[in-house]
Structure 1
Amino acid sequence: MEKLAWDVRSAPPSGGAVVASVRGDLDRATRTALVTSLADLLVEHGGVVLDVSGLHPGHSPAVHAFTEALARAGGWPSARLALAAPDPALAALLTASRVAEEAPVYGDVADALSHLADRPAVLRDGWRFDVDPHAPGRARSRVRDLCRRWGLESEVREAAEIVITELVTNAVEHALSPSVVEVERHGDAFRMAVRDYGSRAGHDVPEATFWHVPPMSSSRGRGLAMVAAVSRAWGVLRHPDGKTIWAEMAT
């Protein structure tokens, strides 16, 4: 199996960041190696400008190795990644696959280095929780820490904690299902989505809308009314094996 070739050099005065170059074919066989090597560099140095001018994508989905390495290294701002000097085909693929939203692409190394400290257009994170009464508390703690790392205001953090607590509680108590949480910040929006796998009859999402709060005697729906109250938009996506409830707040 052909290996990727790496070269790493320091980039003063970049606060410990490095400039690296990687050459070879990016495909199914080399994707894992790229993720591991790049994540290690990000953890060690905090920031990496990666020259990909010598990298040739032989398998389109393999470009997600860049965002996978970012996530493994802890994500922005502890891990900062900028890609430099891709050929037109790779640049188009990075844009079409939305990788460039999280790992910005620049025309040359100098430009990438000058923007390495900038926040990417999109920040993403996610977790999975088991059917566990402690899951809502763990999810709330994760969101609290994430809001702090992403520099979100206290009002957004407080609303996000309410939302994540209610949605994960819904998965645990009503769907009786593990939950997958996806969190994203883009533009002025902070969005959370909780996917469950509860497809049992009679355990669908309760009715709760912006203009209707269930009575206090109701055992269901009050949580989603709270979600509606602190979100600028929310909704439900139904799947054959469960549902996704999402909520969005303004930053």
Structure 2
Amino acid sequence: MDTSIELALETVGHSDADDEAAAADGDPVDPGAPGTPLVLTLRGPLSERTAGPLVDRLCHLLTRHGGVVVDLSGVSLTHSGAVHAFSEAAARAGEWPDVRLVLAAPDATLAALLVTSRVAQRVPVHPDVPTAVAHLDDRPEVLRGYWHFDVDPRAPGDARGHVRRVCRHWGIDEDTREAAEIVVTELVTNAVEHASSASVVEVWRRDHSLRLTVRDFDLTVLPEAHLPDPSAPRGRGLAMVAAVARTWGVEAHRDGKTVWAEMETV
């Protein structure tokens, strides 16, 4: 029998006992069955006020069960931006396929907004709960990994390990995976050694493209990529990024910059 609970959006976040209350209503949640898919039926208004607590609860349930199907048939949308709660929860909880979140049975207005907001690219939407359960393991159109690293000499290696792991989980070909590892190693090394900055790494897969970004919090302008003098002990990082990426660039922010690179994959 499917594991399922019902949750009133007006009360989510008001108590840490929502799961236990649902169990008392006859839909038991087995705390000893991690990885068991859960059907979560939401009731009430999806609003700016309820979206934040919903993200927290979904993260908890995704971490606990691995796969969650959200039944939206009882949801009334009162704030368009609240639909991003679902993609935010998926991003915060982890990466596919360790974390699988799908939505079911939205009304026509909510279904259209999930598509136009691009939430449906990361959190698939299905017309009913049985279909959603059957397709819970399907790969979403867009995959994302997100990690934060402190100023630490171990950060480049840790970042490389995360990228290697998700590329293998996502079925990225070996050449692209190796290129992505080179890119993230060089860019996080720049953040640690040259910018003395923490960094945020994101990697996205969509269709036949893998996009990798490294955000730092240093205002120093990044130099142009060029090959240094052969006798120079350092300085080849950006040249290596340029060599393995299909395209790359820099976006400036008021408090730092983001270096991005895109690679083709099969």
TM-score, normalization: structure 2? 0.81
Where 1:77 maps in the other structure, the secondary structure is coil
Structure 2 residues not aligned, in runs of 5+ = 1-8, 13-17, 30-34
Amino acid at match of 1:2: E
Q: Distance in 1 between matches of 2:49 and 2:251?
A: 35
Preserved contact between residue 178 and residue 196 of structure 1 (Cα < 8 Å): yes
Alignment-derived partner of residue 208 in structure 2 = 188
Preserved contact between residue 3 and residue 24 of structure 1 (Cα < 8 Å): no
1:3 aligns with 2:11: yes
Q: Distance in 2 between matches of 1:83 and 1:105?
A: 5
CA distance 1:81–1:167, shift in 2 (3 Å): same
Q: Distance in 2 between matches of 1:153 and 1:160?
A: 11
Between Structure 1 and Structure 2, how many residues are aligned? 241
Preserved contact between residue 40 and residue 70 of structure 2 (Cα < 8 Å): yes
Match of 1:243 among 217, 235, 257: 257
Alignment-derived partner of residue 60 in structure 1 = 80
Alignment-derived partner of residue 5 in structure 2 = none
Preserved contact between residue 94 and residue 145 of structure 2 (Cα < 8 Å): no
Q: CA deviation at 1:216?
A: 2.2
1:105-184 to 2 correspondences below 5 Å: 105-184=125-204
Structure 1 residues not aligned, in runs of 5+ = none
Alignment-derived partner of residue 15 in structure 2 = none
Alignment-derived partner of residue 3 in structure 2 = none
Q: CA deviation at 1:62?
A: 2.3
Q: Distance in 1 between matches of 2:53 and 2:215?
A: 30
Q: Distance in 1 between matches of 2:198 and 2:60?
A: 30
Q: Distance in 1 between matches of 2:28 and 2:135?
A: 18
CA distance 1:241–1:42, shift in 2 (3 Å): closer
Alignment-derived partner of residue 216 in structure 1 = 230
Match of 2:67 among 47, 51, 71: 47
Alignment-derived partner of residue 247 in structure 2 = 233
Kindly report the root-mean-square deviation, in angstroms, between the aligned alpha carbons of the 2 structures. Answer: 2.5
Q: CA deviation at 1:9?
A: 8.2
Q: CA deviation at 1:55?
A: 1.1
Where 2:192 maps in the other structure, the secondary structure is helix
